[in-house]
Chains A and B, each alone.
Chain A
Amino acid sequence: MCGRGFDKVPSAGVCFDCVRIAEEERVMNRSPVTYTEQVAAWVRLFKYRGKEGLATPMGRWMAEVARVHYARENISLVTFVPLHEERLIQRGFNQAEKLADEVGRRLRLPVCPLLVRNKDTAYQSKRTREERLSALGGSVILADGAWKRHVANQVVLIVDDVYTTGATVRECAKPLRQAGVKKVCSVTFAR
């Protein structure tokens, strides 16, 4: 379900993290690489140091994974995890948006900013599992320009950089499902 390696999955193709989540909330995720020390260094260089050029190889890799794993899903739209406006000004770019641009270009799909963040949450990367799962409640809403008739019955692919507990991706899936999206999948660079 979440894209974890099969050696860690006990049975039925759903791992012990996903089993703890209600079935209607689960989001299928796929990632090209496991979050190891080396990958963490790449992500830091990309996200915090700001080496935006890395979006191209990373996005290419993610697009390939999405193409292989979501071949039967008929994805129609690509979107990305939003960043709060203040954080965006501070960082200068949204790393998920850069990746989504590349993924969209490779898959020849439209990339739409469907989501916005309405409260500035602290860094997910500095929290424990429980904090992560509870902290985000209701922080992501549908963007002003994303009308329901546009997103209804679409299959949306959410792009992000790292998937740890999946809280961020699930939070983003909530408003999309409420808006009538048929299915939500996600692709992240690292799992």
Chain B
Amino acid sequence: MKIALYQVAGDEEWRMSLAPEVDERHWREQGRQITWLGATRSIGLAAAFIRKRSLPRHMETGLAPLPALTDGDWDEVKQTGQKWIPFLTGRALLLEEIEALLLKHGQTDASERLRRVLQWLILKGECDMRPGVDSARPAWHWRCERCGAGGSTLVVRTCASCQEHCVVCETCLIMGRSRTCAPFFLFTKVQGRALGAVSSFTEVQVGASRHSLTIAQRRAVTELRGHLCGSARQVLVWAVTGAGKTEMMFPLLEEALRAGKKVAWVTPRKDVVLELAPRIRQAFNSVRVLALHGGSADTWLTGEVVVATAHQMWRFAQAFEWMVVDEVDAFPLYGHRALEQGLHRALAPSGKQVLLTATPPAGWQSLAKQGRLPSVVLPARHHGFPHPEPRLAVVWGLWRKLRRNRPIPVVEQFLKQVEARSGQAMLFVPRVQDVKVVVTWLIGQGWPQEEIAGVYAAQPDREEEVARFRDGSRKWLVTTTILERGVTVPRVHVLVLGADHPVFDRAGLVQIAGRVGRRADYQEGEVWFVAEERTEAQIKALKEIKRLNHCAAKEGFLQKEAYSH
């Protein structure tokens, strides 16, 4: 795409233009002269020139005569620009994404008019244009403007579009190629214009959730509300698994929506998006709730509540005043710098971020303890029963015995106990190939084959198998860590085989233990960790669960009367 460079009289600054005729007209109306330098084939070259003042090799100095912009054209550009502002504001998009968005909103446009309108928006200060990848300086400073990634995921390619060596970002490639010669547009409110009140928003229907909060939850909500009124940008909510984190957020969500704020609910997992969006839709049936994930149909629509995977936040800039980040410590979000930066950019300057988790990383726990990260702790489950504490068992040569089909008394005991209590069991294993080993062992030990199922991430019929386990037609489910979060099966027991494997870290083990006893009417569920040796992760997980239970008991939440609604 051609980018022209010019200077306005009485101003040192060089400016970039997508459509020179628009700039010509704009500055003439303001009574100022402009001098054109020329045009480059790539926005990256233009940006490098502005930074370094060195003429790019392929600079065409002087411009071809500009197409005349009639008064009619000019008015049309302005009107179209005004029309586009509402659905472009708060977005961060590449050119092809803008095209897709406009198409979705029924604005099919010739590329010429698109360029003119975008340039007009840039001149108005509604939009900021920069190269997709900032590669003007040495490689150490290269950065993808879209996702913030740097380092080895930025690769140099010969590019046929600009006939230069272009830097392409491979971190956010799956959402479109961000590269040096492709312009990237940030539609942010530079003048700090307040977000318009939510238009179609009339009356929020209050779902049943509000009235069924327990005392512990209500107390946490009050505390959280206090933090959100303060100056803190981020608040950590540490609630044990099964504490009802989602329900707890609903009253706050409602308040935010009433105040006309735009809200995002971000989670690292697509499954959670698919499960949560209908629940929010049901609770607030007069607002538009979008479910965004890779391949979602809602991608380019606008709505008051956005439920999205973390990757989708790359497409927003300063769009949300209230953001809930669910399962912050989960893969792929935790420790992924590009995704975290995306979340920060999507948050409005005055926005608030609520970080929800059951297992905050040690670093955050100490920050919270020091008071540097405001936090709310909810140690009790919604039904008031304590979190089940895992039992640690050591079995020598566990995998050898499993492979050779030898009896393992501890595991046998667990399985018989589950049968006696008429429950179901999830057997967690560390690696995909272990699923088969354990399934074979179970069959070899005489457990009925039709009651056993094994699942792992890449399995084609994984969802059906899990559904069969949920409805009770499978009794034993051998699984990898894919089911460690977000699964609720009422009568479940849990056995972790090989709990000493590094994939089972403290957080993972606490989450796995949290699958058990989530329903008030079945509290016989047990958690066993079977391993060849005790590891720090197992001991820490046990300690953390004990501590939270102790905390809950001390605050008096583990009593029946605290839960009379």
Contact = CB atoms under 8 A, between A and B. Distances in A.
A90 B155 CA distance: 19
Contacts of A91: 160-161
A53 B170 contact: yes
A92 B155 contact: no
Chain B CB count within 10 A is highest, among A45, A49, A91, A92, for A92
Interface string A77-93: 00000000000111111
Nearest to A51: B173
B160 A89 contact: yes
A94 B160 contact: yes
Nearest to B166: A92
Nearest to B41: A89
Contacts of B179: 92
Interface string B137-174: 00000000000000000010111110000101010011
Interface residues of B, number: 13
B550 interface: no
B177 interface: yes
B160 A49 contact: no
B161 A92 contact: yes
Interface string A20-62: 0000000000000000000000000100011111000000000
B158 A93 contact: yes
A113 B157 CA distance: 18
Contacts, number: 33
Given A52-B168, A53-B170, A90 B177 contact: no
A88 B160 contact: yes
A92 B159 contact: yes
Nearest to B159: A92
B160 A93 contact: yes
A53 B156 CA distance: 10
Contacts of A52: 155, 157, 168
Contacts of B177: 49-50, 92
A93 B168 CA distance: 12
Contacts of A93: 157-160
Contacts of B166: 92
Contacts of A53: 155, 170
Contacts of B174: 45, 49
Interface residues of A, number: 13
B482 to A, nearest CB: 20
Chain A CB count within 10 A is highest, among B160, B161, B166, B177, for B160
A90 B170 CA distance: 18
B173 A49 contact: yes
A50 B174 CA distance: 9
Given A92-B177, A92-B179, A51 B170 contact: yes
A93 B174 CA distance: 17
A150 B160 CA distance: 26
Contacts of A94: 160
Nearest to A88: B160
A53 B168 CA distance: 11
Interface in B170-188: 170, 173-174, 177, 179
Chain B CB count within 10 A is highest, among A45, A52, A94, for A52
Interface string A94-106: 1000000000000
A92 B160 contact: yes
A89 B173 contact: no
Nearest to B160: A88
B173 A50 contact: yes
A26 B158 CA distance: 34
B87 to A, nearest CB: 25
Contacts of A49: 173-174, 177
A89 B159 CA distance: 8
Interface in B41-64: none
A51 B168 CA distance: 9
A39 B541 CA distance: 42
A97 B155 CA distance: 18
Contacts of B157: 52, 92-93
A45 to B, nearest CB: 8
Contacts of B168: 50, 52
A50 B179 CA distance: 11
A49 to B, nearest CB: 6
Interface of B: 155, 157-161, 166, 168, 170, 173-174, 177, 179
Given A92-B166, A92-B177, 18 more contacts: A45-B174, A49-B173, A49-B177, A50-B173, A50-B177, A51-B170, A52-B155, A52-B157, A88-B161, A89-B160, A89-B161, A90-B161, A91-B160, A91-B161, A92-B157, A93-B157, A93-B158, A93-B160
23 contacts: A45-B174, A49-B173, A49-B174, A50-B168, A50-B173, A50-B177, A51-B170, A51-B173, A52-B168, A53-B155, A88-B161, A89-B161, A90-B161, A91-B161, A92-B157, A92-B160, A92-B161, A92-B177, A93-B157, A93-B158, A93-B159, A93-B160, A94-B160
The 9 closest A-B pairs by CB, nearest first: A50-B177, A88-B160, A92-B161, A89-B161, A92-B159, A52-B157, A92-B160, A93-B160, A51-B173
